[in-house]
């Protein structure tokens, strides 16, 4: 079946450090891929997405490239800020109408000044 695996946290960084959160997936066909962010006590917000191989999603300095050959969608940011501290979820959609997203377990990022 379809699944998402992301690196376990917590990830602890200093401000302005480089961030990578790894995400790999297993899916049949051609899924769409997403990164969501959750700030403390809130719901999830879409951070970025990619719908086909080699697409790069980007938003707020974050980037992720859909790599079909390595079944990966790693999240990167060149210089993190304290305000980026949150939980990040990688997710896939199998592109079948009405099916739910499949989420990874989430990675907690903590950035200190």
Q: For binding to other proteins (CB under 8 A), which residues are involved?
A: 32, 34, 36, 41-46, 49, 51, 89, 93-95, 97-101, 103-106
For other proteins, the closer of residues 100 and 113 by Cβ is: 100
Q: Which of 52, 63, 59 is nearest to 23 (CA)?
A: 63
For other proteins, the closer of residues 17 and 110 by Cβ is: 110
The distance of closest approach from Cβ of residue 75 to other proteins in the complex, given in angstroms and rounded to an integer, is: 15
The distance of closest approach from Cβ of residue 97 to other proteins in the complex, given in angstroms and rounded to an integer, is: 5
Rounded CA-CA distance 48/32 in Å is 11
For other proteins, the closer of residues 17 and 71 by Cβ is: 71
- Per-residue burial over 74-109, b if 16 or more Cβ lie within 10 Å, else e, is bbebeebeeebbbbbbbbbbbeeeeeeebbbebbeb
């Amino acid at each position: 079946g379809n699944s998402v695996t992301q690196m376990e946290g917590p990830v602890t960084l200093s401000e302005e450090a480089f961030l990578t959160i790894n995400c790999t997936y297993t899916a049949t066909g051609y899924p769409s891929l997403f990164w969501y962010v959750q700030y403390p006590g809130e719901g999830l917000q879409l951070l970025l997405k990619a719908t086909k191989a080699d697409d790069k999603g980007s938003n707020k300095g974050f980037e992720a490239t859909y790599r079909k050959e390595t079944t990966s969608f790693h999240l990167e940011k060149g210089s993190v800020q304290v305000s980026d501290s949150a939980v990040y979820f990688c997710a896939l959609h199998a592109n079948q109408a009405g099916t739910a997203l499949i989420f990874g377990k989430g990675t907690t990022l903590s950035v200190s000044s």
